[in-house]
Amino acid sequence: MILINLLPHREAARKRRREAFYAALGASAVAGVVVAGAIYLWYAAQISGQQSKNMVLQTEIKLLEGQIKDIANLQAEIAALRARQQAVEDLQADRNMPVHLLNELVKQLPDGVYVSSLRQENQVVTIQGTAQSNERVSELLRNLGSNSPWLTKPELVEITAGNVTLSPRDQRRVANFNMRVRLLRASEAQKAASAAHGASAPTAGASAPAKT
């Protein structure tokens, strides 16, 4: 027997396909929302973790900044203590500077040169006096510049001609001079002596005769 289906099977198939499409579309939307939610939660967790790390870093940075300030204060205190120590050492060494000044002047003054005034300001000494001639003044400058371990950088400020009356019938021409010289501290004199010794040692070795 032959069976004939008179129902609208094409429309029923289309309806089933449409329902399946909508179901797949809904499932895809749900899956997309789930995936998007999972991605959002993952990113939110990452951001929260990074923010926590940033807070820890900021706390550590503040601690380090405080330690750096403490170190800077300690360095400033150390520098101040060293400056005070150096000042005390300089004062102790400077107590003997007038003695060295007078000793060196006695040693370096040529014959025919007389000192009438001495004035010291810090390490600069101003010398005023009278010499028998300009050559005597030049000799004094040379002695102060090269022969003294405590005096350096002599500078002639002024030299003028003058007369000295020894008796009513005896008048002599003299040179009145004004010069400046720098008085070295003990530490500076020691450094200069060490440098001069180091410079002279190779020269002495080079001048020794070779053995044959």
54: number of Cβ within 10 Å? 10
In this predicted structure, which of 101-105, 110-114, 153-157, 200-204 has the lowest mean pLDDT? 200-204
CB 164 within 8 A of CB 172: yes
Type and span of the H or E element at 103: helix 97-108
Instruction: Report the chain's mean pLDDT, rounded to a whole number.
Output: 82
Nearest Cα residue to 151 out of 92, 197, 198, 107? 107
Q: How confident is residue 36, by pLDDT bands cut at 50, 70 and 90?
A: very high
Question: What pLDDT was estimated at residue 177?
Answer: 92
Q: pLDDT tens digit string along 112-168?
A: 898 989 888 888 899 999 998 899 999 999 988 888 888 888 999 998 988 877 777
Environment class of 140 (CB within 10 Å of its CB; exposed 0-12, middle 13-18, buried 19+):
buried
Q: How confident is residue 203, by pLDDT bands cut at 50, 70 and 90?
A: very low
Type and span of the H or E element at 16: helix 9-94
Report the C-alpha gap between 57 and 51 in whole angstroms: 10
Question: What pLDDT was estimated at residue 35?
Answer: 92
Q: What is the DSSP string of 123-178?
A: TEEEEEEEESSHHHHHHHHHHHHHT-SSEEEEEEEEEEEEEEEEETTEEEEEEEEE
Q: pLDDT tens digit string along 46-81?
A: 998 899 899 999 999 999 988 898 898 999 999 999
49: tokens are 């973790």
Fold of 97-190: Gyrase A; domain 2 (3.30.1360)
CB 149 within 8 A of CB 97: no
Question: What pLDDT was estimated at residue 102?
Answer: 85
Q: How confident is residue 42, by pLDDT bands cut at 50, 70 and 90?
A: very high
79: number of Cβ within 10 Å? 10
Q: How confident is residue 206, by pLDDT bands cut at 50, 70 and 90?
A: very low
Contacts of 14 (CB under 8 A, 6+ apart): none
Contacts of 89 (CB under 8 A, 6+ apart): 187
Is the confidence at residue 209, as pLDDT, over 60? no
200: tokens are 């002279």
Is the confidence at residue 108, as pLDDT, over 80? yes
- At 48, the amino acid letter reads S
- 156 or 192: which carries more pLDDT confidence? 156
Hey, where are the domains in the chain?
17-95, 97-190
What 8-state DSSP symbol labels residue 72?
H
